[in-house]
Amino acid sequence: MSGFDYYETGAIYYIEKTITENMLLQFANLTGDFNKVHMDDEYCISHGLKSRIVHGNLILSLLASVIGMEFPGEGSVIISQTADFLYPVRIKDTLAFHFRITGKNDQNALELNILNIKFKVINQNGARVLKGEFKVAIK
C-alpha cells in the first residue's frame, strides 16, 4: 500500500543534520540575506550574542526538503506552515528533526489528501530550537 492510505496518524520520522559554514554561506548567497547577525562574529559578540546565528529560513528549508524528499516524500507539497523560533541555531550545531503525523483530511474544499505534520527541532544540547506544523498535500 502507498499514497494517502499508507500514512497513519501518529506515524513519526526522525533525521539529524549538522549545520555547516558552507550551508550558511550558500543560503546567504542564494537569498541575498547578509545580515550581520548571520555573517559577522564580531558584530554579534558586540551586540550580546555568543556568535553568528544561522538563518531561520535555512532551517525551515531543511525541514521542507525532508517533507519533499523523505517523509512523506516525493510528490508532497507543503500548502501551509507555522513555525516558532525558540532558540538560536549556530554553525556546527547538530539538529534532530522530529516529525509526527497528527491528522489526515481527504474531505476538503480543495479535494486534496492532506496530512497534518507537527515538527520539532532539537540541538545537540537538548534545547528545542524550533517547533511548528506543516499541512502537506500528497498523492
Residue pLDDT, tens place only, 32-77: 999 999 999 999 999 999 999 999 999 999 999 999 999 999 889 9
Work out the percent of the chain whose per-residue pLDDT is above 70: 99
Pick the CATH number of 9-138 from 3.10.129.10, 2.30.110.10, 3.30.460.80, 1.10.150.120: 3.10.129.10
**What pLDDT band is residue 2 in, cutting at 50, 70 and 90?**
low
Residue carrying the nine cell digits 522530529: 98
pTM, 2 dp:
0.91
Residue 2: strand, helix, or coil = coil
Which of these ranges, 14-28, 69-83, 120-134, has the smallest mean pLDDT? Answer: 69-83
Indicate whether 134 pLDDT > 70: yes
Give all strands of the β-sheet with 113-122 in edge-to-edge order: 12-18, 94-105, 113-122, 128-138, 77-85
| SS3 of residue 118 by DSSP | strand
Average pLDDT of the residues in 1-28: 91
Binning pLDDT at 50, 70 and 90, where does residue 1 land?
A: very low
Res 122 pLDDT > 80: yes
